[in-house]
Structure 1
Amino acid sequence: MINKYSAATLLLLGGLTSSALAQDYSRVQVQDQNDNGTPYLVRFRAGKEAPLSTAPAVLREQLQLAQEDQLVQAKTDIDQLGYVHEKYQQYYKGIKVEHATYSVHARKGQVESISGQFEKVRGINTTPSLDAKAALERAMAFVGARTYMWQDAREEASLKQQENNPAATYKPQGELVIVRNQRSTNALKANKPTLAWKFNVYAKAPLSRAYIYVDANSGEVVLQDNIIKHAGATASFATAYNGTRSLATETTTGGYRLREYTRGLGIETYNAKKGNSYTAAVDFIDADNNWTAAEYNNANYDNVAGDAHFGAQATYDYWSAVHGRNSYDNAGAKIKSYVHFDDVPGGAGYENAFWNGSVMTYGDGASTFKPLTAMDVCGHEIGHAVCEKTANLTYQNESGAMNEGFSDIWGACVEARAVSQYGLTGKSTWLIGEEIMKAGGALRSMSNPNAYGQPDTYKGTNWRATTTSPTSSNDYGGVHTNSGVLNFWFYLLAQGGSGTNDISSAYSVTGVGIDAAAKIAYRTESVYLTASSTYANARTASISAATDLYGAGSAQVTAVTNAWYAVGVGAAAGGGTTPPPTTVTYCTSKGGNVAYEWIDYVKLGTIARTSAADAGYYNGTASSTSIAAGSSQTISFSAGFASTAYTEYWKIFIDYNQDGDFADAGETVVSGSSASTGTLTGTFTVPSTAKSGATRLRVVMSDASATTSCNSYSYGETEDYTVNITGGTLAFDGVAGITGGTALGNSVEKAISVFPNPASEVLNIALASKAPVVSATVTDLRGARVVGARFENGQLNVAGLAKGIYLLTVSDGQKSFHERFVKE
């Protein structure tokens, strides 16, 4: 079909000749260019912003629209910072210009900046000489598959049922668009806007799915943009990679299946039975909802179904909790996973995992990989879905490398949060695919890309040349190779580091923590990047994202800028090289015994951690939050107890002057004692003279009142985090802070009630906070998990337990509570 808008619809931003438009450069503070010479980002001077209602005029002025150019408003979003983002799609003579979108960013009704990709399209005849049917034949000849999805009657019937649309079909419907010719070697055609037919071609054998663009006049394929993207170059459930996990299931004929519907529209996991048909896939069914290793750790690797289901849950939870995003499309889209997939039914094993544009698909591996259902692989692949719904980075050359890089970033972030939340073992945040390699090692390293053949510097060692003819044989212009640059940028932004890169630039980056780095990366991808963005565009975009989040001149903006300098993109903050780092080493603080009490909850700003005991010390410095000098802050925290709630002494410290200790006046920000299992709070004021930048937050809970910030002690726990202070002075002159901190009192609270106790059949559970109980588990006095008790609707069925004393652990979704009960 030819996609044209009526002239009336397109009058919004068209209808003026370029000679009638004059740019007002006095309003512009920053302007960066795209590779075609059009503006990528324009930021306006303070006081020179235009009202949002005049956005069309602003775009006309800055982009110099010609008579044939139109921008049609596609959508409007309002983010958590209060910014309004209006996105416009470019058309030329009523035909959509592919990958050309432009956004207006406004706050408080004023346009602060505009950004995006605008194509200069001139003199193109928009009447095709090749019809859609002939163009599809060219596209199919290019793909060269034996079988296509629309040729399989079962797949077609399944699609109609899935979409509840009798007309639904996989057969591509041609759309007439204008797109850059990115495959021609002819200098007159290469990278030039071209009238083309666009098809979504889904091949079943060999498996592939891509947007294929066919020149509407010559019939040559001008672009292949893969929809299926790969991870590599080539109840209670005993999972393969994540230990025994509690997974949401659903009753069905014969028992329980892997379905859950509390997250968005749901999470569903299926068994592809070593075939390549989604239609023929079936449910995994367990009779008693206790998916044991004896049942599923078998030669067929059925235990990886639990990893896929748990990974999807953890990925959904990450996007919801950290970024406020409801599934990959931000509209609650259902996440479907298919394990035991093989592109050749009954073959030797499929060496890949992929997102096919609508579902997750996992192979069992063969000579190189184990089953590919590891946590970071799951986070990576669903990250592709997020990219598709936001920046939609074209899968080739630099934009494709960033598409892969962002997926690695989200795989690392999902895994890091899951490790922190669930105490998972065997995982490394900065390695990708470390659990699925048969010979050990990993697919990629974000902290040392060179170790796996990737570049850590733009166009440096291991950089793979981009190409005008991207194919699978050249990794579509190095998408899995050159992603190392974005990976290393993110690692340095989160963790910091110093050295000399491949182009002899000495750098030093002060890390901001993985949480702040993730927020910057997400805003970069979701707000500022477009389909054709380059690494230079990403630098500009991320600086804007960090400025939005943390303010101009903040430590985070400096870190973003210096991290790009470190990987060879742009100058350091302030120009030139970055200063050498100042190394600060903190003293040791650790509890010797956590058998009776431990820290189970800490929250300050975006730091929010629920945990079990951590052997006396937890290093959470990769988690960070920003606090402004002069601001009042409230920190929440609580103790976990094995049974009896003892009196605990709390001391919380912040190294305001960043000198490596907590001994200066005012650096003890909270102090007091309590025997409560409930959530406690302390309020403190950040001194206006505190030093800007990242520094240490230390939380100490001990049974001894004499415990300080720097010693080992008998019972209790210490946890360290990072806070980023903004708006403080560059030198520290002492703090007139809270002497002795905030008193917490010694109230004893019964946070959980169970009755009757002793119980013979049913134990009722209630929390003093009136919050609903999300989960309940039972252990015996040896600490072994008891599986004979089922929890439903606030009641624990204990009829099947042997007589004796048990420990009950319940959670309200935020923290855990413990109580003993007797089964009579």
Structure 2
Amino acid sequence: MIKKYPVAALLLLGALPYSAAYAQQAARAAQKFMAEDGTPALVRFRPETPAYTLSQGRQALVEQLQLKAEDQMLHSRTETDGMGFVHEKYNQYYKGIKVEHAAYTLHAKQGNVESMSGQIERIEGLKTSPAMDAATALRYALAFVGATQYMWDDAVEEAGLKQMENDPTATYRPQGELVIVRNDRNPNPGLHGKPTLAWKFNVYAKAPISRAYIYVDAETGEIVLQDAIIKHVAATGTVATKYSGTQSSATSTTTGGYYLREATRGLGIETYNCKKGSSYTTAVDFVDADNNWTEYANTNFDNAALDAHWGAQAVYDYWKNVHARNSYNNAGAKIRSYVHFDDTPGDGKGYENAYWNGSVMTYGDGYTRFDPLTSLDVCAHEIGHAVCSSTANLTYSNESGALNEGFSDIWGAAVEYYKAPNKATWLIGEDIDKVRPALRSMSDPNAEGQPDTYKGTNWYAGTGDNGGVHTNSGVLNHWFYILSVGKTGTNDIGSSFSVTGIGIDAAAKIAYRTESVYLTSSSNYAAARTYSIQAATDLYGAGSTQVTAVTNAWYAVGVGAAAGGTTPPPTTSTYCTSKGTNVSYEWIDLVSLGSINRTSSKDAGYYNGTALGTSVTAGSAQTINFSAGFASTAYTEYWKIFIDYNQDGDFIDSGETIVSGSSSSAATISANFTVPTTAKSGKTRLRVVMSDVSATSSCGSYSYGETEDYSITISGGTALQEVAVTKSGNELDLIGSGRAQVLDVYPNPATDMLRVTTPGNGPVVAVSVTDLQGIKVLGTQVKGGQLNVSTLAKGIYMLEISDGQKVFHQRFVKD
């Protein structure tokens, strides 16, 4: 069904009338920390001069997030923590359709909003009517998953779900929900990361086992995102210590003996035997006659069930006693564990995995690589995923997925330290791994193939393992280790650091507040740094030793600056790389600011001009001139110019984007900006990026265009760590003049003839038409600016045309 909320049902956030004086007060009070896409990740207000009361939350969201009439924020829930903070959470909607992973929270104390944090999407002109229905989209989703059997195909599992949920209508069969989500899978820079109308399905496959949210482009059928619900340990391995010896564990008694069940922790903890099968429904109880479970150390590994049962109780106790959290959902949810699970029964091989499937714990017996995966930190790690799904709900891909995995490792270490401090707290899987000394090392991630520095040695930049979630989690793991015990050294990017540890208990409290209060589903490492500093500030006060340690631990792993600004400015190698991979058709041919005045031809996609520089004064007005060079056709180019005002080695802070706009002109463009009075004095970096893709950021490679870096020396600044401004520079809607250079097709939908206009009315050198399956339609050509589509079957097609220089794409519909 289409979940499209009527406007009347939402908290509408459009333009609101308010006094100019009040707006100025709000602007003075606000300190903004920006995400990489230029949206506010954290807005902080001075408690002594509150800008908004909680009852003015609507106004706060509109003004500080600069929301438009199409944007709506729907209140999802309100939470109160032990520190007296009230957290009002909102989900973003665009024209009544939910925007996945876009949420914002107001944090208030005594009725005054002290800060607000989250992630929003800037969406413009997105079509909100799907071209295909949910049934059609589901076929694309199932073709992508490619399982041989699904849970809803098994009548026993369907009946078991109805019994488990106490709902006669419950089913595993996916029900489509229409949402807007970023396209995370398309490698095309013009489409990657672009908000897309999509059908969302919860697909639970039984053979082979998988469960994930699958997002299908509602126009093309393309899979735009896969967000795993089952986090497979064996992908790179998430296992834990060996069995924990003889322990006290609560059980229940009934006619015929004692069961591995207990009812005093939340709604209960229960452990079942899958009997080396793949069905939860046919699983049975473990039963012992005298409640003295000493005879289970056998060749069948039945003692693994005792570890799972005791481990689940230990994990529950940790969350309840340390963080005052009642089970993983903070509402006493029952914890069910299933051991002796095997996804391919009868093959003689144990299942080498353990996972949280979104509802229950599942453990295999291991085979070649592992012993049974039921030890304490496996329990803690997997239930940690359940905690994450009830709090930050971090999307399981790329950096947010690495954070998801890293937090589960943190909880594995924290629970083990709490319940079994004699174990190797900082090693993950050291006892059950039959091949390696350990799967992961939080104290030395490099030893097991993980990075200990952001984008340093062993950093994974590919698409496997959901974007390296089990590899790149090493950065968060090492941050937590350094924060807990301290460390002195030099990281992979040449930054020397010395951090005094604050102990694992304080570090865990900061980590938990970061995950449960501030992080959102799309958060990355930069956001984790910002939010953990805020969490430490909440818990221990601004300027505390804990805040300093959190900040310096992030600096130690290559994320952000050190505390206090006492560290020398980052060297050139600190900054992320940015480069165009093709300069055949366009490049930067002029950058002029003060004594920087450079004209050039193409520079292989990147020019290091940091030897060239100019001086500016904090608070001064400046004008920068720049222009593009073209081989022939003047294509539309997107300009973004950045200055690292606080000298923390990146361009993501508020106000550091001084120009953002587009132009299809080769003429010189001028833009004005003001150097903030809060800029840090000293030498810093100016970065100019010109790309033919609007989504290009300050980091990474892109297809057509060029990046140039220069130096700027600032004097008279107040040397704050963060730049406290409320407007992000000179964000122009259009720079220069000229028509956007895109491929035009009309009418669309078409019945017989499709008229085609190339950018600049250029020539048509090559034509290709493909259907949604990627199959090329033969015999297509453009004559006289027209494409004959009369013989095509009804449906959606992709048109590809080259003008001899660039290749352009456009979808069209044949009626």
Q: State whether structure 2 residue 98 is matched by structure 1 residue 96.
A: yes
- The separation in 1 between residues aligned to 2:564 and 2:26, in whole angstroms, is 23
Equivalent pair of 1:562/1:578 in contact (CA under 8 Å): no
- The separation in 1 between residues aligned to 2:69 and 2:192, in whole angstroms, is 25
List alignment gaps of at least 5 residues for structure 1. Answer: 580-824
| Deviation per residue, 1:427-454 (Å, 9 max, x gap) | 2000011121124611100001011000
Cα 1:167/1:77, change in 2 over 3 Å: same
| Deviation per residue, 1:691-737 (Å, 9 max, x gap) | xxxxxxxxxxxxxxxxxxxxxxxxxxxxxxxxxxxxxxxxxxxxxxx
Aligned partner of residue 122 in structure 1, secondary structure: coil
- The separation in 2 between residues aligned to 1:556 and 1:482, in whole angstroms, is 25
- The separation in 2 between residues aligned to 1:300 and 1:51, in whole angstroms, is 61
| Cα shift at 1:35 | 2.4
- 1:486 corresponds in structure 2 to 476
- 1:454 corresponds in structure 2 to 450
- 2:514 corresponds in structure 1 to 524
- 2:612 corresponds in structure 1 to none
- 1:394 corresponds in structure 2 to 395
- The separation in 1 between residues aligned to 2:425 and 2:189, in whole angstroms, is 44
| Cα shift at 1:244 | 1.1
Equivalent pair of 1:17/1:66 in contact (CA under 8 Å): no
| Cα shift at 1:25 | 6.3
- 1:633 corresponds in structure 2 to none
Equivalent pair of 1:572/1:578 in contact (CA under 8 Å): no
- 2:784 corresponds in structure 1 to none
| Deviation per residue, 1:265-322 (Å, 9 max, x gap) | 0000011111111111111111111111xx2111001011100000000000000000
- The separation in 1 between residues aligned to 2:122 and 2:276, in whole angstroms, is 48
Cα 1:506/1:29, change in 2 over 3 Å: farther
- Aligned counterparts, 1:27-426, within 5 A: 27-49=28-50, 50-234=52-236, 241-292=243-294, 295-347=295-347, 348-420=349-421, 425=422
| Cα shift at 1:29 | 4.7
| Cα shift at 1:175 | 0.2
Q: State whether structure 2 residue 9 is matched by structure 1 residue 5.
A: no
| Deviation per residue, 1:347-393 (Å, 9 max, x gap) | 31111110000000111111110001111111000000000000000
- The separation in 1 between residues aligned to 2:49 and 2:93, in whole angstroms, is 29
- The separation in 2 between residues aligned to 1:545 and 1:230, in whole angstroms, is 30
Equivalent pair of 2:92/2:102 in contact (CA under 8 Å): yes
What code does the residue aligned with 2:405 have? E
| Deviation per residue, 1:310-354 (Å, 9 max, x gap) | 000000000000000000000000000011111111231111110
Equivalent pair of 1:27/1:45 in contact (CA under 8 Å): no
| Cα shift at 1:2 | 1.1
Asked which structure has the greater RCO (Cα within 8 Å, sep 6+), the reply is 2
Aligned partner of residue 564 in structure 2, secondary structure: coil
- Aligned counterparts, 1:490-639, within 5 A: 490-577=480-567
Equivalent pair of 1:232/1:480 in contact (CA under 8 Å): no
Match of 1:434 among 430, 436, 439: 430
Equivalent pair of 2:450/2:471 in contact (CA under 8 Å): yes
Identity %: 70
Aligned partner of residue 55 in structure 1, secondary structure: helix
- The separation in 1 between residues aligned to 2:466 and 2:179, in whole angstroms, is 22
Aligned partner of residue 244 in structure 1, secondary structure: coil
- 2:460 corresponds in structure 1 to 464
Cα 1:108/1:291, change in 2 over 3 Å: same
What code does the residue aligned with 2:209 have? L
Equivalent pair of 1:211/1:225 in contact (CA under 8 Å): yes
- 1:689 corresponds in structure 2 to none
Aligned partner of residue 3 in structure 1, secondary structure: coil
| Cα shift at 1:243 | 1.1
Runs of 4+ in 1 over 4 A off after TM superposition: 15-18, 20-25
| Deviation per residue, 1:762-814 (Å, 9 max, x gap) | xxxxxxxxxxxxxxxxxxxxxxxxxxxxxxxxxxxxxxxxxxxxxxxxxxxxx
Equivalent pair of 2:14/2:71 in contact (CA under 8 Å): yes
Aligned partner of residue 291 in structure 1, secondary structure: coil
Cα 1:513/1:323, change in 2 over 3 Å: same
- The separation in 1 between residues aligned to 2:319 and 2:178, in whole angstroms, is 35
Cα 1:277/1:360, change in 2 over 3 Å: same
- 1:783 corresponds in structure 2 to none
What code does the residue aligned with 2:380 have? G
- The separation in 2 between residues aligned to 1:307 and 1:341, in whole angstroms, is 15
Equivalent pair of 1:231/1:380 in contact (CA under 8 Å): no
Equivalent pair of 1:23/1:61 in contact (CA under 8 Å): no
| Deviation per residue, 1:53-100 (Å, 9 max, x gap) | 101101100011111100011100110110010000100000000000
List alignment gaps of at least 5 residues for structure 2. Answer: 570-815
Equivalent pair of 2:319/2:327 in contact (CA under 8 Å): yes
| Cα shift at 1:125 | 1.1
Aligned partner of residue 577 in structure 1, secondary structure: coil
Moved more, 244-253 or 442-451: 244-253
Equivalent pair of 1:263/1:316 in contact (CA under 8 Å): yes
Cα 1:260/1:355, change in 2 over 3 Å: same
Aligned partner of residue 8 in structure 1, secondary structure: helix
Equivalent pair of 2:11/2:75 in contact (CA under 8 Å): no
Moved more, 155-164 or 8-17: 8-17
- Aligned counterparts, 1:618-767, within 5 A: none
Equivalent pair of 2:201/2:214 in contact (CA under 8 Å): yes
Aligned partner of residue 168 in structure 2, secondary structure: coil
Cα 1:69/1:298, change in 2 over 3 Å: same
Equivalent pair of 1:200/1:211 in contact (CA under 8 Å): yes
Equivalent pair of 1:490/1:517 in contact (CA under 8 Å): yes
Aligned partner of residue 498 in structure 1, secondary structure: strand
TM-score under structure 1 length normalisation = 0.67
| Cα shift at 1:419 | 1.4
Equivalent pair of 2:12/2:71 in contact (CA under 8 Å): no
Cα 1:254/1:115, change in 2 over 3 Å: same
Equivalent pair of 2:134/2:176 in contact (CA under 8 Å): yes
- 1:647 corresponds in structure 2 to none
| Cα shift at 1:410 | 0.1
- The separation in 1 between residues aligned to 2:243 and 2:412, in whole angstroms, is 15
What code does the residue aligned with 2:433 have? M
Aligned partner of residue 49 in structure 2, secondary structure: coil
| Deviation per residue, 1:30-68 (Å, 9 max, x gap) | 311122211000101243311111011011000111111
- The separation in 2 between residues aligned to 1:185 and 1:527, in whole angstroms, is 33
- 2:793 corresponds in structure 1 to none
- The separation in 2 between residues aligned to 1:386 and 1:362, in whole angstroms, is 18
| Deviation per residue, 1:618-669 (Å, 9 max, x gap) | xxxxxxxxxxxxxxxxxxxxxxxxxxxxxxxxxxxxxxxxxxxxxxxxxxxx
TM-score under structure 2 length normalisation = 0.67
- The separation in 2 between residues aligned to 1:74 and 1:549, in whole angstroms, is 25
| Cα shift at 1:252 | 2.8
What code does the residue aligned with 2:518 have? Y
